[in-house]
Amino acid sequence: MRGSIPPERAAAFVPDGATVMIGGFMGVGTPHRIIDALVARGARGLTIIANDTARPGIGIGKLVSAGCVSRLVVSHIGTNPETQARMNAEEVEVELVPQGTLAERVRAGGAGLGGVLTPTGVSTMAAKEKRTIEVGQREYLLETALVADVALLAARSSDYMGNLVYSLTARNFNPLMATAAPCVIAEPNEIVPVGVLPPDAIHTPGVLVDHLIERWQPRQGCFHGCT
């Protein structure tokens, strides 16, 4: 059985300058309480690998607004004008990666591969400074694998062994990122006894998860999520 930790302690596992994978798709599947703890700690110089930066004040957007991020590896920033402004002001370095390529680079990192070959981006600006390889008379870009120091994930459910179940679009990146970092911290909506989650429903096995965030408890006498 694995104990759970508060978000503040989880934030301590993310040192300044770390490379961090953060799950989610427009904030869905993003560990919001851990992000709040990182902002409160005043984290700096983080490289974030994620699908997107959500919106100002939401998810990864909070890290951008708070100046916690120095570099982003994402598929798009179109929904966050603050990220765009910081990129244009050269306050944040942004590497834009096609969404499918991003997922494959994370998968390759988790599988211990050096990279993947993809035809996406050949003969475009995306090919700049990248190696091309010909296979079967077709050109491919060599896209290097992505790994991180820490992966921060959100899950619908976990048991006390750290087995995780995600919902809907939270499955886009969370299961891949769980394999691509030596330290994996998960923030589940609920933690249930071992055996409650059917084995064939598990998306990330507990052997990959290092820490669980304790369940949020409303203040006694509060029934509406107040603090």
| Domain parsing of the chain, residue ranges | 4-114+146-213
Which of 2.60.40.10, 3.40.50.10490, 3.40.640.10, 3.40.1080.10 is the CATH number of 4-114+146-213?
3.40.1080.10
- The DSSP call for residue 127 is G
* Average pLDDT of the segment spanning 115-135: 91
44-82 tens-digit pLDDT: 999 999 999 999 999 999 999 999 999 999 999 999 999
The tens digit of pLDDT for each residue in 214-223 reads 986 655 444 3
Q: Are strands 93-96 and 115-118 parallel, antiparallel or unpaired?
A: unpaired
Give the model's confidence band at 126: pLDDT under 50 very low, under 70 low, under 90 confident, else very high: confident
CB crowding 82-92: b at 16 or more within 10 Å, else e: bbeebbeeeeb
CB neighbourhood size of 17 (10 A): 12
Q: How far is CA 31 from the centre of its chain?
A: 9
